[in-house]
Amino acid sequence: MATRQSTRLLEPEVVSRLGGLDFIARTLVEGFLVGLHRSPYHGFSVEFAEYRQYLPGESTQNIDWRVYAKTDRHYVRLFHEETNLHARILLDISASMETSLEKDRLSKLSYGRTLAAALSYLFIKQNDGAGLVTFDERPRQIVPPRSSRRQLNHLFKVLHEAKAGAKTDVGRVLDELADRMWRRGLVVIISDLIDDPESVLRGIKHFRHRKHEVIVFHVLDPREVDFNLSKEARFIDPEQELDPVKAQPWHLRETYTAEVAKWRDRLNRECGQHQIDYVPLTTDTPFERALLAYLNKRAAMQ
């Protein structure tokens, strides 16, 4: 696993002070990979496998000349097969994603934006194609998957400029995007999934129906999970024009947390039934967990 120093770099409160998204993504991914004792799957980047004798007429690019110097024979370095993957990140930028219930904590959108940047860097480091869709009640920015360095810079720019938008319509947007994505690949959903659960699950399952691999990063603020608020609070729905509601959280905590647990359990159960990876996160969760979840998903796909 990661060393103490690299793990520290993966903590959200540290990441938020690092600088631009490009630097953050590179620091996160490189620190994470250096901290691993070994890759949890075969096929990462250009992992060496074995030698075989060179066949006349082949490209000489992979001949190991040091082995030739010792043996006077031409041997080719083999590498584990890599299937070029088309990965698409779907990032929820609806108004609810801007939520942060404590000062100095990353908002869900900032956390999701950083995670999307790190995954994009990792995809392209693996020579996979990385694409991006930002959405609220409809798709906003659509960047088709490509694997070039120029593509990575473009993704960083789009993510940097992504601002909290309008109302949520997660399920309908996912349905629409599933119909538009004709080439099979990996779909990564980053969202708080705050919408009608039936609609959300229908949209997520639609990608599996179209034969995509799917991983869902369900991002919430820690207080949205434990409701550990010590003062009377005014609750405002950022997506609906409703009057604020005053409440004493300690009177509601038990019922609230039970409902949240039931909601997350249902998402986890139904995703599991359809071979969809469901990864619950809060904005204080080190990014290491999300990156490991992706690597495990990538391993299972090979």
More confident residue, 240 or 71: 71
**Does 70 fall in a domain?**
yes
Share of the chain above pLDDT 70, in %: 76
pTM recorded for the entire structure: 0.79
Does residue 54 sit in the same domain as residue 172? no
pLDDT band of residue 142 (cuts 50, 70, 90) is very high
Does residue 134 sit in the same domain as residue 181? yes
pLDDT band of residue 198 (cuts 50, 70, 90) is very high
- CA atoms of 19 and 24, how far apart (whole Å): 7
**Does 214 fall in a domain?**
yes
- Please count the structural domains in the chain: 2
Q: Which of 35, 64, 79 is the last residue of a domain?
A: 79
Q: What's the pLDDT score for residue 48?
A: 46
More confident residue, 228 or 214: 214
Q: Which of 79, 97, 131 is the last residue of a domain?
A: 79
**Does 35 fall in a domain?**
no
**Does 139 fall in a domain?**
yes
Does residue 213 sit in the same domain as residue 100? yes
Does residue 150 sit in the same domain as residue 292? yes
Does residue 234 sit in the same domain as residue 285? yes
Does residue 59 sit in the same domain as residue 117? no
- The per-residue pLDDT of the chain, averaged, comes to 82
CATH number at residue 124: 3.40.50.410
**Does 4 fall in a domain?**
no
More confident residue, 302 or 162: 162
Q: Is 227's pLDDT higher than 90?
A: no
**Does 27 fall in a domain?**
no
Q: Is 187's pLDDT higher than 60?
A: yes
Does residue 181 sit in the same domain as residue 109? yes
More confident residue, 93 or 165: 93
- CA atoms of 165 and 34, how far apart (whole Å): 36
**Does 8 fall in a domain?**
no
Q: What's the pLDDT score for residue 53?
A: 64
Does residue 63 sit in the same domain as residue 169? no
pLDDT band of residue 120 (cuts 50, 70, 90) is very high
Does residue 154 sit in the same domain as residue 200? yes
Q: Which of 6-15, 50-59, 97-106, 121-130 has the highest mean pLDDT?
A: 121-130
Q: Which of 79, 100, 131 is the last residue of a domain?
A: 79
Q: Is 80's pLDDT higher than 60?
A: no
Does residue 136 sit in the same domain as residue 271? yes
Q: What's the pLDDT score for residue 43?
A: 39
Q: Which two tokens stand for residue 17?
A: 């002070």
Does residue 125 sit in the same domain as residue 192? yes
**Does 18 fall in a domain?**
no
Does residue 72 sit in the same domain as residue 167? no
Q: What is the pLDDT of residues 168-185, one digit of tens each?
A: 889 999 999 999 998 899
Domain that holds residue 68: 48-79
Q: Is 112's pLDDT higher than 90?
A: yes
Amino acid at 154: H
